């Protein structure tokens, strides 16, 4: 059911690869709430993925761009502003990739060229996106930028590898730019720290299924799905959250605040007694 929360708003959405992607669900939800959209991803992802279907469903313009290329980002923002006939209300940065994880390089044996790539794609790209928007004065007053993070930025999750460092940097960039863009044009910048979610990016993490089950059991509300995340994203693009900025917002069913959950301990101790 639509509430018209984004009626008349125009936004760019990065990172819809396939139907599982958080960005895919967010695009559908934003459209349902009345937004006009430009969708973007790398040329390779556009070839491998199914974003054309989404573009048709959302009546959106597709503009290929590598989020690590300032030149591509400048072209993207110019095309989006031309398409919308003016400034942009919101941007979703739903981008992440670690070559170290892809190539099964453990953290202690990291490949530093890969590490730089992880940081560039998964964190610096947010700086580049915000930098281009800022310099082109592309966002409207009270605009909103959201990027997706994970709790491994605060606490160590074995197997999350160099993505943990990238997420810590991503959250810091959101705060630093949130200050500057807030002063310039009341633009808010936040990160959402999402539950483990079954997507292409998620499935690359070692032990993802166990991590998913553990987080689901520990969280009093269970894991938040990609669709739940899309709902939350839309609220942050809406005018109902105008003074929320420079925050890392947990969207994780309570996982981040739970120390001990009796049922999880019982399952663990039962397992020990069997051994
Ligand atoms: N899946 C999870 O468990 C989970 C949990 C918390 C946060 N997140 C974050 O959510 C975001 C979206 O991931 P997802 O789970 O929807 O997976 P996904 O694989 O569907 O999305 C990741 C996207 O990043 C894009 N991308 C990679 N390199 C890029 C580049 N150079 N330029 C532009 N785009 C590029 C990919 O093409 C893809 O569309 C990521 O930041 C991810 O780290 C995911």
pLDDT in tens, 139-176: 999 999 999 999 999 999 999 999 999 999 999 999 99
Catalytic residue among 134, 150, 214, 268: 150
Which DSSP string do the residues of 65-129 spell out, in sequence order? --TT-HHHHHHHHHHHHHHHTS-EEEEEE-----HHHHTT--GGG--HHHHHHHHIIIIIHHHHH
**Residue 248 DSSP symbol:** E
The dihedrals phi and psi of 66, each to the nearest 5 degrees, come to -90, 120
Tens of pLDDT along 101-139?
999 999 999 999 999 999 999 999 999 999 999 999 999
Mean pLDDT of the chain: 96
Nearest to 248 by CA among 181, 172, 144: 172
What per-residue confidence (pLDDT) applies to 275? 60
For residues 48-66, give the mean pLDDT. 95
The 8 Å CB, 24+ separation contacts for 123-127 are: 123/166, 123/167, 123/169, 123/170, 123/173, 124/68, 124/169, 124/173, 125/67, 125/68, 125/93, 125/95, 126/93, 126/95, 126/170, 126/173, 126/174, 126/177, 127/173, 127/177
Q: What pLDDT is stored for residue 1 in this prediction?
A: 83
Token digits of residue 5: 């929360």
Asked whether the CA dihedral 55, 239, 197, 127 is positive or negative, the reply is positive
- How many Å lie between the centroid of ligand 1 and the Cα of residue 236? 19
pLDDT of residue 271: 80
Domain spans of the chain?
A: 10-274
Among 38-42, 234-238, 270-274, the range scoring the smallest mean pLDDT is: 270-274
Say if CB 162 and CB 118 are below 8 A apart.
Answer: yes
Q: Are 95 and 14 in contact (CB under 8 A)?
A: yes
Q: How far is the CA of 148 from the centre of ligand 1 (A)?
A: 8
Confidence of residue 202 (pLDDT cuts 50, 70, 90): confident
What percent of the chain is predicted at pLDDT more than 70?
A: 99
Mean pLDDT, residues 10-28 taken together: 97
Out of 112, 160, 232, 268, the active site residue is 160
For residue 150, which atom of ligand 1 is closest to its CA?
Answer: 6
Q: How far apart are CA 37 and CA 76, in angstroms?
A: 12
CATH tag, 10-274 = 3.40.50.720
* Residue whose CB lies within 8 A of the most ligand 1 atoms, among 96, 121, 154, 170, for a mutation test: 96
Taking each helix axis from N to C end, the angle separating 22-32 and 51-58, rounded to the nearest 10 degrees, works out to 10
* 230 vs 28: CA distance, rounded Å: 8
- 150 flagged as catalytic: yes
- Provide the residue count of the chain: 275
What is the share, in percent, of the chain residues with pLDDT greater than 90?
Answer: 90
Q: Of 50-54, 155-159, 269-273, where does mean pLDDT reach its minimum?
A: 269-273
């Amino acid at each position: 059911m639509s509430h018209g929360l984004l009626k008349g708003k125009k936004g760019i959405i990065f990172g819809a690869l396939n139907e599982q992607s958080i960005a895919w669900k967010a695009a559908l939800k934003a459209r349902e709430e009345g937004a006009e959209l430009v969708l973007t991803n790398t040329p390779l992802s556009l070839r491998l993925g199914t974003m054309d279907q989404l573009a048709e469903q959302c009546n959106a313009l597709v503009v290929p761009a590598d989020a690590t290329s300032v030149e591509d980002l400048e072209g993207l923002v110019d095309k989006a502003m031309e398409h919308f006939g003016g400034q942009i209300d919101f941007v979703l940065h739903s981008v992440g990739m670690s070559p170290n994880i892809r190539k099964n390089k453990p953290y202690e044996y990291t490949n530093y060229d890969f590490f730089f790539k992880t940081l560039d794609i998964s964190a610096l790209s947010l700086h580049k996106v915000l930098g281009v928007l800022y310099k082109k004065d592309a966002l409207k007053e009270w605009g909103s930028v959201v990027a997706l993070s994970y709790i491994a930025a605060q606490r160590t999750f074995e197997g999350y590898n160099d993505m943990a460092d990238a997420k810590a940097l991503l959250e810091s960039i959101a705060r630093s730019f949130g200050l500057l863009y807030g002063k310039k044009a009341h633009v808010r910048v936040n990160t959402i720290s999402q539950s483990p979610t079954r997507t292409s990016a998620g499935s690359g993490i070692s032990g993802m299924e166990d991590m998913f089950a553990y987080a689901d059991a520990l969280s009093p509300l269970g894991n938040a799905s990609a669709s739940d995340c899309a709902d939350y994203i839309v609220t942050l693009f809406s005018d109902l959250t105008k003074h929320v900025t420079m925050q890392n917002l947990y969207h994780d069913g309570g996982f981040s605040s739970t120390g001990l959950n009796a049922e999880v301990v019982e399952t663990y101790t039962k397992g020990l007694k069997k051994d």
